[in-house]
Chains A and B, each alone.
Chain A
C-alpha cells in the first residue's frame, strides 16, 4: 500500500495537487486539492458591476473570455437586459472560436505528451511517416522531406541535452504505445498546432481587441460596432472578410489534422476506453443562444443533465439546485461548515487549517483544498466538453449524434465507451460543431449589412 502525491499537476492551468492511495498496483482512493486561493469574488464586491467582467476574466488566461461572458450575463440577468442581435452573434463567434483554439491547444500542447513519446520520433522512418500521414488525411504537409526535417529538429534538441519544452517527460516509458512513425507525425503536428493557434486566435483580436483577455465586453452588449461604410468601424467588410478567411483555415486544420490525429492516437490506446470513468452524472448549461438568452430551448447546444450514465434521459437543469460545500475546504461558513450554500447566498471566508509546508500528505479527513465542492441536488456532476457532447447527444442534436456515433463505429466500441473516450472526442466533436457559428457569420453578415 502506498500513497502517491503529484504536486503540482503539470500541463494544466491552475494549481492542483493529487494524492492517491495505491493498493496492489491499483488506485483505491484519491483526493484532489486546489492549492491556491484567488478571492476574486471578494475583490469584485462594492465595485461597479459594469466592470466585474474585467476582474473575473483574470481568473484564467487560457480559458480566457468565458468568465467575462458569464460575468456580463450574470449582471444582465440581474438587471433584465437583453443584448442586441449583433452582440449575440459576436459573443457566439467568440465562444466558438475559443472552443476551437482551446481544444487544439489542449490536445496537442497539454494532453498529447501523455500519449506521444517525443524520443520515439527519433526512431521513425520519415518515408513511412509520410505514408501514415497520407493514409489518414489529405493535409498537404506530409512529405518525407518534411517529416525528416522535423525529426532533425527534434534530434538536435535532444542531443543538445536541453529539452526545452519537452523537459521532465517520461520518455521511453513502456506505457507509450505509438509506433515511432505515429510519434513523429504527432510531434510535427504539435509544432504546427503552435502556429495554428497563434494565427487562428486573431479572430479574438478582431472581435475582442486582443487575446488573452478580450476587452470588448459590455454589460448590455459588445463594443464592436458594425458599419459597412466606415473604415474605422470595429467591424466592417474588410474585418469580416478577414474573419471568414481565418475561419476557413481553421476548418481545414481541424478536419485534416486534429480529428485524424485524435482518432489515430486513440486507436492505439483502446483499453483506455474503459478507464477513467467519472461519477456518471453530466451537466451542461448549454451554449450559443439563437435568440433570447432566456430561451434555453433554442440554444444550439442544449442545456440539461444526465444521471447514472443514462443517456436516454435528459433532465432539465434548475440552477437553484446548485450548492457548495466547504466541509473539506479551507473556508468558514457562518453557523455551520457542514451544510451546502447556493451561490446566491454564498460565503467566501478563507481560513487555512492545513499543514504548514513542507509537508508530506494532506489530512483528507479534515479540510484539504481551496476549492469548494459544488453539488447539483446533492449529486456530483461532471462538466466540460464531454458533458456538453453527451447532453447534446441525449437531447437528440443531429450533428452531435452523427459525430459521436461515427467515432464509436470507427472503433467498434460499445455505446458505454462514450463515457470514457472523453474530452478528446468531445473536443473534436465540439470543434466540428463550433465551426457552425462561423458559417452563420456569413449569413448573419448578409442580414446585418443594412445600416442600423
Chain B
C-alpha cells in the first residue's frame, strides 16, 4: 500500500523546517503517521467497548457500523493513521466501508497478518461496558499487556549521540 501523501510532504516539511527527521519508530517510520494503533483511533471503538460486533456479513451490525473484530479485523495490531486521515482526500477507509483492517502497512504484514478473516487472539483491554462472559472471551486482558502492545509499535528512536541511542544509529 503506498504511503499517504501527508507522510511524504509532512516528513520533508519537518526536515526542511527543523533540519532533522521527524521522530521515527523502530522501523524508521514517522510517529506522526505510525505512532498510534488503529484500534485506538477507530470510529467503531465504542462498539468494541460495548460488545457490539458484526457476526455475519450484511447483518444488523454491519448496517449499523459495529465493530469488525470478529470478522478478522487486525486493527488492534496495526499502526497507521487510516481512521484519522482516511484515504482519497479523507473519503473513507476499509473499516468505514465495512471490511476489517488487514494491517497492510505493518512490518512484514504478508507474513504476519494472514489469515485475514480469523479474529486476533486475546486482544487485551476488551469492552469496558460488558463482562468477558458476555462477549464470549474467557480471558481478562491486563493493562500491562496493552501497554506492551503499544510500546511494541511506538518505540521512539532516541536522538543520535545520546546515551540511549541504539548502536545502529551511529554513522
Contact = CB atoms under 8 A, between A and B. Distances in A.
Interface of A: 47-48, 50-51, 54, 61, 84, 198-199, 201-202, 204-213, 215-218, 220-227, 230, 232-234, 452
B117 A61 contact: no
A279 B117 CA distance: 44
A52 to B, nearest CB: 11
Contacts of B88: 198, 201-202, 204-205, 210-211
Contact of B65 (A84, A210, A212, A232): A232
A47 B111 CA distance: 12
B2 A212 contact: yes
B115 A210 contact: no
Q: Quick one: which of A54, A204, A227 has the most chain B CB within 10 A?
A: A54
A233 B91 contact: no
A233 B64 contact: yes
Given A54-B102, A206-B97, 17 more contacts: A48-B114, A51-B116, A201-B88, A202-B91, A206-B91, A209-B96, A209-B99, A211-B87, A213-B1, A215-B97, A218-B99, A220-B57, A221-B58, A226-B63, A233-B63, A234-B62, A234-B65
B169 interface: no
A277 to B, nearest CB: 37
B125 interface: no
Nearest to B88: A205
A215 B58 contact: no
19 contacts: A47-B114, A48-B115, A205-B89, A205-B92, A210-B87, A210-B92, A215-B94, A215-B102, A216-B98, A218-B99, A223-B62, A223-B97, A223-B98, A225-B62, A225-B63, A225-B98, A226-B63, A230-B63, A232-B65
Given A204-B88, A211-B87, A234 B115 contact: no
A224 B97 contact: yes
B93 interface: yes
Contacts of B82: 210
B92 A206 contact: yes
Nearest to B97: A209
Interface in B77-105: 82, 86-89, 91-99, 102, 104
Q: Pick the most buried of B43, B94, B102: most chain A CB atoms within 10 A of its CB.
A: B94
Nearest to A229: B63
Contacts of A206: 91-92, 97
A21 to B, nearest CB: 38
B57 A218 contact: yes
A234 B99 CA distance: 10
Task: From B65, B86, B94, B99, name the one whose CB has the most chain A CB atoms within 10 angstroms.
Answer: B99
Interface string B21-56: 000000000000000000000011000000000000
The 5 closest A-B pairs by CB, nearest first: A232-B65, A223-B98, A210-B87, A209-B94, A205-B91
A47 B97 CA distance: 25
B104 A213 contact: yes
B60 to A, nearest CB: 9
Main secondary structure of the interface of B (DSSP, over half): loop
Query: What is the size category of the interface that chain B forms with chain A?
Result: 20 to 34
A221 B92 CA distance: 19
A198 B87 CA distance: 11
Choose among B2, B62, B88, B116 the residue with the greatest number of A CB atoms under 10 Å from its CB: B88
Contacts of A227: 63-64
Contacts of B62: 223, 225, 234
Nearest to B5: A198
A234 B96 CA distance: 6
B48 to A, nearest CB: 14
Nearest to B43: A232
Contact of B98 (A211, A220, A224, A452): A224
Nearest to A451: B63
Nearest to A208: B97
A307 B87 CA distance: 44
Give the one of B1, B44, B65, B87 with max A CB within 10 A. B87
Contacts of A234: 62, 65, 96-98
Nearest to B116: A51
Given A209-B93, A223-B57, A216 B99 contact: yes
Nearest to B1: A213
A206 B57 CA distance: 17
A449 B131 CA distance: 37
Contact of A216 (B44, B86, B97, B115): B97
Nearest to A234: B98
B116 to A, nearest CB: 5
A206 to B, nearest CB: 6
B139 to A, nearest CB: 24
Nearest to B59: A225
B161 to A, nearest CB: 34
B58 A216 contact: no
Contacts of A205: 86-89, 91-93, 97
A213 B1 CA distance: 7
Interface in B1-28: 1-2
Nearest to A51: B116
Among the interface residues A47, A51, A205, A215, which one has the most CB atoms of the partner chain B within 10 A?
A: A215
A48 B102 CA distance: 14
Contact of A48 (B91, B92, B117): B117
A40 to B, nearest CB: 11
Contacts of B89: 198-199, 202, 205
Contact of B114 (A51, A204, A233): A51
Interface in B106-144: 114-117
Nearest to A43: B110
B117 A50 contact: yes
A223 B91 CA distance: 17
Contacts of B104: 213
